[in-house]
Structure 1
Amino acid sequence: MRRTAIVDISNLERQRLVAVTTALFTHGSDDPELQHVWLHLEAVTILIRVAGDWTLRITPDEPRKSYTMPELGSRVDIVPAPAEVPFVRHVGERLVRVRERFDAEDPAQCVGAEFVFDTASVVARSFGGDLHLTGR
């Protein structure tokens, strides 16, 4: 199977999720939009994001600091994930497996991944260039 992730997905399995961090993009007075998610597992922290080519990327990475873009009237806040981020309800659980989903027309492009935990799963997907998360 071809992988677009830089991390070996199988190395994530059976690790406990200890925390979740997010990057929230805010423009002016608009509501914040989820941009990135970091899963802090026992042995590694991974970043889940949508790349410029609209593929879903899962890479080892650590959260950076919040920053502003005053010329655009925008900011990115790096914060502990709010309760509505579906990964949060799985903190303390083990990640059973990760199943990547690939584009039917271009099987080399990862467009989604299902993160299966002890009690349920979370699907991360790229849609229209944005990161979407759904709890199951």
Structure 2
Amino acid sequence: MIDDEELSVADLIGKRLLKVTTAWHHYAADDPTLVHLWLHLESLGPVLFHTPSTGVSVRADQPHGPYSMEEHGSVSVIDDSPDVPVTQFVGQTIRSVRQIGYNDGRVSFTAGLTLLFPSGSVRLLGLVDDLLIAHDKHLGAVEAHLNEDVTLARVVQTSGGCPSQWDAWTTTGQYLYLRYRHGEGTIEQHPSEDVDTWDGEESRLWTSWDDGTDGGWIELTDFLATAGLQLAPDAAVHTTPPIDPKA
């Protein structure tokens, strides 16, 4: 992989987190702020997460050493960073990467990413010039303006087993293709359920995991729980009877 290569968030899915490196900006008497985060991922190497202004940019990049900033303090780089929430997921595989939107009625933009691991998730946010990592943390008034497209308004099961699969639409109208086969669950984003639309830039992998069972059937509720999705209270769910693989 080439340094400074821009990465798609789908490139991160299925990669195991090996180590975390951080860079902190020290200025005057203020508490240090996080400016750069490197996640060292199996088969990808170090991946830099930073915020150009708002939102989060992702690219291949090697961690650098500490440096001074004229009139702007200094930046310290910490390898094997122990005090950031994402370190608790070292050794685990990224199941999903989802965008976080910000909308306060005046401005709207992509504010960051949620990384989903087997034991939980962490949010990486760029709301100002510094990077913010939030795990099990309410961000006060700004929380009401953050949203993720994880709630399903309609689900139609298209196969009852071997594989188990569904067409699904989020509350914002995004189409998702849900599939479970040989113990592997995947979610793909596409413009519509028409497979002729699945080859463009709007298509990407959302989620992937392998539960090690080699199974071909799963309940929708279990699939959604593993994938970090949920049904809207008034969601329309159309199911078909499960297929008994022994029949």
Once the two structures are aligned, what percentage of the paired residues are identical? 28
State the TM-score, normalizing by the size of structure 1. 0.82
Once the two structures are TM-superposed, the CA of residue 35 in structure 1 deviates from its matched residue by: 1.0
SS in 1 for 2:95: strand
Equivalent residue, structure 2, for 1:49: 50
Deviation by residue 1:20-77 (Cα, 9 ceiling, x = unmatched)? 000011113433211110000002221111103x2311112111111013x4261101
In structure 2, what residue type is equivalent to 1:116?
A: L
- Alpha carbons of structure 1 residues 80 and 43: separation in structure 2 relative to 1, 3 Å: same
Once the two structures are TM-superposed, the CA of residue 84 in structure 1 deviates from its matched residue by: 2.7
Higher RCO (CA 8 Å, separation ≥ 6 residues): 1
Deviation by residue 1:84-109 (Cα, 9 ceiling, x = unmatched)? 31111111111111112244555xx5
Once the two structures are TM-superposed, the CA of residue 16 in structure 1 deviates from its matched residue by: 0.7
Confirm or deny: 8 A CA contact 1:57 1:110 kept in the other structure.
no
Equivalent residue, structure 2, for 1:75: 74
Over aligned residues, Cα RMSD in angstroms?
A: 2.1
Confirm or deny: 8 A CA contact 1:68 1:74 kept in the other structure.
yes
CA distance in structure 2 between the aligned counterparts of 1:46 and 1:86, rounded to whole angstroms = 17
Confirm or deny: 8 A CA contact 1:36 1:131 kept in the other structure.
yes
Instruction: Write out aligned runs for 1:7-86 (5 A).
Output: 7-44=7-44, 45-52=46-53, 54-69=54-69, 71-72=70-71, 74-86=73-85
- Alpha carbons of structure 1 residues 81 and 74: separation in structure 2 relative to 1, 3 Å: farther
CA distance in structure 1 between the aligned counterparts of 2:99 and 2:6, rounded to whole angstroms = 13
Gaps of 5+ in 1: none
SS in 2 for 1:129: coil
Greater strand proportion: 1
Instruction: Look at both structures and tell me which one has the larger radius of gyration over its CA atoms.
Output: 2
- Alpha carbons of structure 1 residues 116 and 29: separation in structure 2 relative to 1, 3 Å: same
